[in-house]
Amino acid sequence: KAGVTQTPRYLIKTRGQQVTLSCSPISGHRSVSWYQQTPGQGLQFLFEYFSETQRNKGNFPGRFSGRQFSNSRSEMNVSTLELGDSALYLCASSLVMGRSTDTQYFGPGTRLTVL
Amino acid sequence: SQQGEEDPQALSIQEGENATMNCSYKTSINNLQWYRQNSGRGLVHLILIRSNEREKHSGRLRVTLDTSKKSSSLLITASRAADTASYFCQYSGAGSYQLTFGKGTKLSVIP
């Protein structure tokens, strides 16, 4: 099976712009989670989608949003970019939602730089 | 913050030595998993230990879980240069679906 893919891999934006990141989960996986990773804050949970519905949300402002399509592919959007949004954004897929025994399979990440 | 703590934050050892990393958390948990991340890339799952297990082995990896101390440790035996990476624990609080990562330990194995 193909792994989790994320596009684009690298992105440079300026403050105030918006950005959309895409994630294609492993075939058959219905849960997609998004994480932000920065040197200072580590891995922070953004949100989780299952069956096209947001099931869990981390502590991030409303500028961060996402959605999931019927084929389980997911996008996340960040509006009005700030310098602090520069980070590695990781997508992970798993068979079902947030079950602690499920392994999450991670994509390579999208490196976002905000200038 | 519910984020777990891992120590040490960084660890540098010689090839062939053992490496031990610890993860502490604040709430009761369901299960705990360990992941590895090579520099700036995605995470790779290493091992799952269930809340009713105390120790688990997988190849050169040994994981322990002490729920009374709210801590877990990951031991890598006979380390190799290829083990150089950051290691993270991940868990969900009892009754919660949200998965939380620890802050990670950056391991450097010197050839």
Please, what are the averages of pLDDT over each run of 10 residues along chain B (111 residues)? 74 96 90 90 91 94 96 97 96 77 94 93
Our measurement of the distance from residue B11's CA atom to the centroid of its chain's CA atoms, rounded to an integer in Å, reads: 13
Collapsing DSSP to helix, strand or coil, B51 comes out as coil
Residue B18 has a pLDDT of 97
Other residues' Cβ atoms within 10 Å of the Cβ of residue B20: 16
Least confident of A24-38, A97-111, B57-71: A97-111
Cα–Cα separations (whole angstroms), residue B31 to A29, A104, B48, B95: 21, 13, 7, 11
Our measurement of the distance from residue A114's CA atom to the centroid of its chain's CA atoms, rounded to an integer in Å, reads: 17
Contact A90 B91 (CB under 8 A): no
Contact B42 A90 (CB under 8 A): yes
Residue B1 has a pLDDT of 46
pLDDT band per the 50, 70, 90 thresholds, residue A102: confident
Question: A56: distance to nearest CA of chain B, Å?
Answer: 7
B104 CB neighbours in chain A (<8 A) are 42-43
H or E element, residue B72: strand B71-76
Residue B48 has a pLDDT of 92
A56 CB neighbours in chain B (<8 A) are 97-98
What is the chain A residue with the closest CA to B94? A100
Residue B68 has a pLDDT of 93
Residue pointed to by tokens 């939380």? B100
Question: A87: distance to nearest CA of chain B, Å?
Answer: 10
Alpha carbons B100 and A47: distance in angstroms, whole number: 12
pLDDT per position as a tens digit, A41-93: 889 999 999 989 998 889 999 999 999 999 999 999 999 999 999 999 999 99
Question: A57: distance to nearest CA of chain B, Å?
Answer: 8
A33 CB neighbours in chain B (<8 A) are 99
Alpha carbons A73 and A31: distance in angstroms, whole number: 9
Q: Which residues on neighbouring strands pair with residue A43, listed in sequence order?
A: A37
Question: B108: distance to nearest CA of chain A, Å?
Answer: 17
Residue A2 has a pLDDT of 80
A35 CB neighbours in chain B (<8 A) are 101
